[in-house]
Structure 1
């Protein structure tokens, strides 16, 4: 009876220390890949940095612009991170006003 309790406890420890965090990271990555859209600046897993300019019809291939007139087609799963999101106030957006009038 004691050995069964030890096995169950060992499995519970493995679940909470290994399996559960891995599933959480996989779900976060899947959500990040689904959220990548036109206008987002991304970095691929290979280290290429560019801005998404088009998403091909099936949605599994995106075109990124890495320089003026240079576009690359990459699979969506090759996106490593979203550097700036088009809707989250990236570097191209004007700074937010803090209510202070600087003209005085």
Structure 2
């Protein structure tokens, strides 16, 4: 769907100190996200791109990988170095990577 121009990385290869950009909607973010992730919904990325560092690898995540692939393509086309996290937050949760929520409930991928 997105072709070979979108670099993909496995969840297990995202470093703990990596810059993880979560492009999901606010309700998805509140339900569960990686503790160190930065939240910029895909619809706001064009206006907020300056918040994303250009001097390091950017790992982009959504629920399963579609929206993050769009973000990766846009960022890479504009000069960033970004990669799509394969399987998104669904794969992140399945891999047992750390998650937190803003709701007080156990973190979940919605």
Please report the TM-score for the alignment, with normalisation by the length of structure 1. 0.25
The answer to which structure, 1 or 2, has the higher relative contact order (CA under 8 A, 6+ apart) is 2
- Which structure's CA Rg is the greater one? 1
User: Between Structure 1 and Structure 2, which shows a larger proportion of strand residues?
Assistant: 1
